[in-house]
Structures are given as C-alpha cells and as structure tokens.
C-alpha cells in the first residue's frame, strides 16, 4: 500500500501499489482547498518487509479564472513521481531479498 500527504499535513491519502505503472489520483477536494503557491506532495511506499521510503515532489499551483482543476502539466510531474516511487520500491525489494 502507498500513501501521500500534501504540504506535510497529517492527513494521509492512500493508493494501491502494484508492479508496473501506478497512476495516482490526487484528492480533488484537497487540491481545491489549497491556496496558490508552492505545494509539496510526499509519496510513501513500503515493501513486504515493512521498509518505507518516500519521495517529495514540489509543484507550483496557479489559479486562473478559467482553470480550477489540476493543470495538465502537473500530471506529468505526478506520473514522474509515480515512476520514481516504483523504482525505489523495486530497489528496496531487491535489496531485502539478498
């Protein structure tokens, strides 16, 4: 299982982790509640041995009168983050089995 936090808030948003590409949907209500400016998403994963690792991704939230959702460019950052998490998880898994 994986989870993420927004701006190091105590609220955890969980997501399933499977081998391969994991697409993580950011909680829309949490996103809409954020003010303009820097936002830090911290993604956490753990392996079967309970080793936990995390990756922080910083993005800049900008609002325009036409756009009140996650900007399309931010999806690229999220996909990159997910890919890095998968690589970290694979590495932890391979190290724990040596």
pLDDT in tens, 15-28: 888 777 778 889 99
pLDDT band for 40, please (50, 70, 90 cuts): very high
Average pLDDT, rounded, for the chain? 82
Where residue 72 falls among pLDDT bands split at 50, 70, 90?
low
What pLDDT shows up at residue 17? 80
Q: How many domains does the chain have?
A: 1
Q: What is the DSSP letter of 10?
A: S
The mean pLDDT of 60-79, rounded to a whole number, is 68
What is the rounded distance in angstroms from the CA atom of residue 14 to the CA atom of residue 41? 13
Structure tokens belonging to residue 57? 């991704």
Evaluate whether 49 touches 96 at the Cβ level (below 8 Å). Answer: yes
Q: What domain range is 31 assigned to?
A: 2-96
């Amino acid at each position: 299982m994986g989870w993420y936090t927004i701006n190091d808030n105590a609220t955890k948003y969980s997501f399933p982790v499977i081998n391969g590409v994991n697409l993580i949907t950011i909680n829309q209500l949490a996103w809409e509640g954020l003010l303009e400016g820097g936002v830090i998403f911290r993604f956490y994963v753990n392996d079967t041995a309970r080793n936990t690792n995390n990756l922080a991704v910083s993005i800049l939230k900008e609002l325009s009168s036409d756009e009140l959702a996650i900007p399309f460019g931010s999806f690229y950052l999220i996909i990159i983050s997910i890919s890095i998490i998968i690589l970290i998880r694979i590495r932890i898994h391979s190290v724990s089995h040596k």
